[in-house]
Structure 1
Amino acid sequence: MVTINNLYLALKNYTAEEILALSRAEKDPRKRIRLLAVSLFLEGHNRTEVTKRLKVARASVNAWVSKYLTYGLKGLDAKRNKGRDSYLTTKQKQQLIEYIEAQSMRTSGGRLTGDAILKYIQLQFNVDYHPNAIYKLLDTLNFSWITSRSMHPKQSAEAQMAFKKVFQLETILNIPGSVGLDRVDIWFQDEARFGQQNSTTRLWARKGTRPRAVRQQQFEYVHFFGAVCPETGETEAIIAPYLSKDIMRQHLSLIAKRTKPGRHAVVVMDGAGWHTNDIADEFINLSIIKLPPYSPELNPVEQVWSWLRQRHLANRSFKGYEDIVDACSIAWNSFISDTKRVMSLCRRDWARMTKY
């Protein structure tokens, strides 16, 4: 039942002309008819006249006018179609989610296809899905077909988690006792090789095409030593023709010189053969900490290499060594030109120093 107060609230803000103007601007044809019906009603036409003029059912006009008088313009919005009920129950969907997640995390390799998921549903739940519908189901379950990241077979997730938990304590054990954590700068260091046998990557092109990118077969390359301090955005780099402990010491020397008086640098690196424990012995303001074995994802410099390749170095041809050095220098200078980018890309919460 519509009360006088509701009728007053519904009619006080809109005139027939205003609702008519709304109907002209409405893109949904069904809602446009509802607005026209209400506009005619507000002009003084009775519901029978509105029915004849718009050639719609009397019951529809009654419903539209009633909803407008009760709820205002919102009452004329179409109800969202909830669609067909899912073939799977909530419990079955949860089982399917757990199965897909377990398959995506397995260490034995392989990949789960839409056809394999279709067969799993048939065997487990005795439900048949059309091959095209299976991908809509996966979308509703918040799954997508994405590129995976590589993982070494010997990698230990437990060791990585333990490293993150004790990193601050490990830092304390590797710095002089007189240095407080508030005076420690955490650096991440790594090396990468760039050269003529270059990688290819995605690029913008017309849909339906697949452009070719030159992939050289020569063997000229350089070794890129890079280091970043995520808290300050400072960086240091060396490009060399080979890997050695001497070049590694030169790189650490640059970091030590960059470290401000009264502060101490802790350089996190992997366990490469030239990353021996004695390479930092000559530096009084610098210490090193080794990452767990087979754990490149703990080192944000790996993402820096990816950034350089995707934006500057992939899909490229190089004349020789000097050309590679020039290209790497331009790419690195482009990356470090934005300090905020360095900080946001390389910062890791587990590596931020707080008072113990």
Structure 2
Amino acid sequence: MALRGRLAAVSGAWLVFEDEAGFSMTPPQSKTWSPRGRTPVVRVRGRSRRRVSIAALTCYKPGHRSRLIYRPRRDDGRRDGRKSFSWRDYRDLLLTAHQQLGGPVVLIWDNLNVHKAAGLREWAAARDWLTIYYLPPYAPGLNPVEGIWSLLRRGWLSNVAFHTPEHLIQRIRRGLRHIQYSSHLIDGCLAETGLTTRPA
């Protein structure tokens, strides 16, 4: 990881981590306060299996404010509908990131099979502004985006009874927008991995 950080610093690139997660209508549970003997009950509509998938990028560069870029994908409930991101979705997300960051990108992500799809590899190989590295297998502790999911689940999504998929999406967007404007939270997720944005 130190080598990758030095590579990004030397080339003036943004060090970008990617991960994706799925969120369902059933809210994550968290502890809360209540009067003694009155256990709080949150009623949810358990029939819906609709999910929202989010792909997110945390972006770091010494001397710049850390950034969070994300894209949601809603499961439309059809059996033939794709529930996860395709390689074209990742391509479009990376193009958006490149435009917003305005510089080269060193991307670090996991070994998900769609990340290694032939179409995505061919597209990436033709982009001189993009360098890709893969995390070791089973190493979520090295990816700061995992911290973003934790913040979201423990904060804006915990103990909420979602009425509709739209309600779920609204809460996800609200939480991610708050994190976007709080670069110290994004920096904290990087610090949890043991990495830093300070140049070596």
Which TM bucket (shorter chain)? 0.7 to 0.9
- Does structure 2 retain, via aligned residues, the 8 Å contact 1:220–1:320? no
Aligned to 1:336: 180
CA shift digits 1:128-173 (9 cap, x unpaired): xxxxxxxxxxxxxxxxxxxxxxxxxxxxxxxxxxxx4xx516974x
Of 225, 234, 253, the residue aligned with 2:55 is 225
Of 5, 10, 26, the residue aligned with 1:181 is 10
Letter in 2 for 1:237: Y
Aligned to 2:108: 268
- Does structure 2 retain, via aligned residues, the 8 Å contact 1:230–1:344? no
* Cα RMSD after superposing both structures: 2.5
Letter in 1 for 2:166: E
Q: Following TM superposition, by how much is the alpha carbon of 1:303 offset from its aligned partner in structure 2, in angstroms?
A: 1.1
Letter in 2 for 1:336: Q
- Does structure 1 retain, via aligned residues, the 8 Å contact 2:23–2:52? yes
5+ residue gaps in structure 1?
Answer: 1-163
**SS at 2:41's partner residue?**
coil
> What is the distance in 1 between the residues matched to 2:130 and 2:20?
19
> What is the distance in 2 between the residues matched to 1:327 and 1:336?
14
Aligned to 1:90: none
The number of equivalent residue pairs is 182
Aligned to 1:168: 3
CA shift digits 1:43-62 (9 cap, x unpaired): xxxxxxxxxxxxxxxxxxxx
Matched, 1:235 2:77: no
**SS at 2:14's partner residue?**
strand
> What is the distance in 1 between the residues matched to 2:181 and 2:199?
28
The percent of aligned pairs where both chains have the same amino acid is 20
Distance of aligned partners of 1:198 and 1:273 in 2 relative to their CA distance in 1, 3 Å threshold: farther
Of 74, 86, 91, the residue aligned with 1:244 is 86
Q: Following TM superposition, by how much is the alpha carbon of 1:334 offset from its aligned partner in structure 2, in angstroms?
A: 1.4
- TM-score, structure 2 as length reference: 0.78
> What is the distance in 2 between the residues matched to 1:319 and 1:253?
34
Whichever structure has more strand as a proportion of its residues is 2
Distance of aligned partners of 1:233 and 1:354 in 2 relative to their CA distance in 1, 3 Å threshold: closer
Using CA pairs under 8 Å that are at least 6 residues apart, name the structure with larger relative contact order, 1 or 2.
2
5+ residue gaps in structure 2?
Answer: 75-82
Letter in 1 for 2:143: N
Whichever structure has more helix as a proportion of its residues is 1
Aligned to 1:308: 152
- TM-score, structure 1 as length reference: 0.46
The 5-angstrom pairing of residues 139-218 of structure 1 reads 164=1, 167-168=2-3, 172=7, 181=10, 183-207=12-36, 209-217=38-46, 218=48
Q: Following TM superposition, by how much is the alpha carbon of 1:300 offset from its aligned partner in structure 2, in angstroms?
A: 1.2
The 5-angstrom pairing of residues 37-116 of structure 1 reads none
Distance of aligned partners of 1:353 and 1:342 in 2 relative to their CA distance in 1, 3 Å threshold: closer
Letter in 2 for 1:283: R
**SS at 2:113's partner residue?**
coil
> What is the distance in 1 between the residues matched to 2:45 and 2:164?
11
